Structure 1
Amino acid sequence: MSEDRNSLFNQSLEKGLAVLRTFSAKRRSMSLAEIAEASHMTKSSAQRMVFTLESLGYLRKHSRTRHYQLTPHVLELGFSYLDAHSLIEVGNPFLAELTRLTGETACLTEPTGVEMTYIARFVSARFVPVHMPIGSRVPMYCTGSGRAYLSALPETEALALVQSSTRVAHTPHTHTEVDDIMASLQTVRDCGYAVNTQELFLGDMTIAAPVIGGNGRPVAAVHVVAPTSRWTRADAESQLVPALMQCVQVLSNSARSLG
């Protein structure tokens, strides 16, 4: 951290955000001691953060268990971001049209570290094997959207992201070796889209392509969900890719104009 940033950096704010980030599907409610441990703070420091966040309405304490949990007030932070995101506003009609044309769920994701975050989603009326609400994150290395995004980066940058990922075999189909993943990125570059078949979830196949911004760099990815229960890879590529690529082209044009 630079000397200028040292003087401006607010550690109390950092600690408060750390407390909020400790809550998850695995830790829906926690005692004060559990919050302190999860956020790597002393109990007294965690107590100050928790008291402040409770006073502001971001946390509430259960009257019987004395455990804390998040409140809907936290959602305001995320939805403010979504409301201000110009690509989402421009892209929503085209994602909706993509879902109408394909009959399948269409999603927009953007990079967050070594993951892709769902920022827009139009759900098909047909069965979808995996529920991924807005804000969900998936690894880049083993997903269609992630590989689409990685494929549009300079190879050295893509390699660095893949190497820094915790590469876990989520299913028997997951590729975890760096060389295999990098070879798959070259395939994506050659054809313009990525196909991910059951590498993150069984029964889940996605076809994705990158959204390219004004500087020629990827800013997001669009993918269509093609469950293996009703799609073969060959049929998905022949029937879904044309509409996907048309949507991505429109969004890329918009991203370039947005700057």
Structure 2
Amino acid sequence: MTTGEQLERDTDYRVPALQRGLSILQMFGAAQRTLSMNDIAENLGVSVSAVYRIVHTLCEMDYLRKLGKNSYELGPQVVSDGFSYLTSRDLVDVSLPYLNALRDRTSLSCHLSIREQTDSLYLYRAFAAQRLSVNIPIGTRIPCHCTAMGRMLLTGLDDSELNNLYQHARLDDYPPPAPKTLPELRQLVEGDRERGWVLHRSDYSTAIACAVYNHLGAVVAAINLSGPEAVMDNDNALQSYLEALQQCAREISRELGASARRGVASNYR
């Protein structure tokens, strides 16, 4: 078969109306939010009558929305379909390559967790192969108020939601630096939310955590960098780790559809 014959055959399989419909949707963007019927026809190089039924169908299916007498914008179905795809992507699958790259860059262990009631549930770990690595198994549950990731997960709740979640929970059974009372926890979470990250030191290790956001701007997960105190007890190193972690959290959030967020302070001191 010649090249010309192949091109002709490929053309035979096209559906012109579908092609035009998709082309119409692609005309809209940040710089072009509305178009008239004449604009659409002109961009396609056809008459208004040739696109009228296509535009009408797109409106009926909510892919376009009519504004006034002769102006159109993208409809809610475009947004719904796009975000349905983003939210259906498995959180671990999205986060895995970024966390692995962060581990390789820092030589520290990285973890991913979500909140289930008052617990932080560990979904993934990128384990750093060194003698003193922090290694928390997948499936581990730790009370949110006791860990850096857990506290970042709680920043997604307002005061009312936090009160409802912890109204029957005991907080005084855990060793410092975990808060002992609900008012103390609220104060901690408020500071964590404003700062945008949490540094948590335990007996022999240090963890830094940031939140991961979805397309609605809601906290859906948290990630951390954790390592032995001997490795992380250095101001310059800790600052570098924090900046790398924040960049990783932004990249994962972007993959989940989050828009650019205001920068947060990167100085841990």
TM range (shorter): 0.5 to 0.7
CA contact (8 A) 2:103 2:128 kept: yes
Q: Which runs of 5+ in 2 are unaligned?
A: 1-87, 259-269
* Map of 1:206 onto structure 2: 207
Deviations 1:30-65 (CA, angstroms, capped at 9, x unpaired): xxxxxxxxxxxxxxxxxxxxxxxxxxxxxxxxxxxx
Work out whether 1:136 is the aligned partner of 2:140.
yes
* Alpha-carbon distance change, 250 to 133 in structure 1, aligned in 2, over 3 angstroms: same
How many residues were matched structurally? Answer: 171
| TM-score, normalization by structure 1 | 0.60
* Map of 1:120 onto structure 2: 124
Q: Which has the larger radius of gyration?
A: 2
Q: Which runs of 5+ in 1 are unaligned?
A: 1-83
* Map of 2:62 onto structure 1: none
Give the distance between the partners of 1:233 and 1:191, measured in 2 at CA. Answer: 20
* Alpha-carbon distance change, 169 to 227 in structure 1, aligned in 2, over 3 angstroms: farther
CA contact (8 A) 1:141 1:162 kept: no
Deviation at 1:170, TM superposition (A): 3.7
Deviation at 1:160, TM superposition (A): 2.9
Give the distance between the partners of 1:184 and 1:246, measured in 2 at CA. Answer: 23
Give the distance between the partners of 2:168 and 2:221, measured in 1 at CA. Answer: 20
* Map of 2:52 onto structure 1: none
* Map of 2:179 onto structure 1: 175
CA contact (8 A) 2:133 2:227 kept: no
Work out whether 1:100 is the aligned partner of 2:109.
no
Give the distance between the partners of 1:236 and 1:173, measured in 2 at CA. Answer: 23
Q: 1:50-199 counterparts in 2 under 5 A? A: 86-128=90-132, 131-198=135-202
Give the distance between the partners of 1:225 and 1:162, measured in 2 at CA. Answer: 27
* Map of 1:63 onto structure 2: none
Deviation at 1:132, TM superposition (A): 1.6
Deviation at 1:230, TM superposition (A): 2.4
The 3-state SS of whatever aligns with 2:177 is coil
What amino acid is the match of 2:204?
G
Percent identity, aligned pairs only? 25
CA contact (8 A) 1:87 1:254 kept: no
Question: What is the RMSD of the two structures over their aligned residues, measured on CA atoms?
Answer: 2.2
* Alpha-carbon distance change, 137 to 103 in structure 1, aligned in 2, over 3 angstroms: same
Give the distance between the partners of 1:171 and 1:229, measured in 2 at CA. Answer: 22
| TM-score, normalization by structure 2 | 0.58
CA contact (8 A) 2:146 2:177 kept: no
* Alpha-carbon distance change, 236 to 114 in structure 1, aligned in 2, over 3 angstroms: farther
* Alpha-carbon distance change, 161 to 253 in structure 1, aligned in 2, over 3 angstroms: same
Give the distance between the partners of 2:166 and 2:250, measured in 1 at CA. Answer: 26
* Map of 1:75 onto structure 2: none
What amino acid is the match of 1:224?
L
* Alpha-carbon distance change, 223 to 159 in structure 1, aligned in 2, over 3 angstroms: farther
* Map of 2:248 onto structure 1: 247
Give the distance between the partners of 1:232 and 1:163, measured in 2 at CA. Answer: 36
The 3-state SS of whatever aligns with 1:226 is strand
Give the distance between the partners of 1:115 and 1:197, measured in 2 at CA. Answer: 19
Give the distance between the partners of 1:91 and 1:196, measured in 2 at CA. Answer: 22
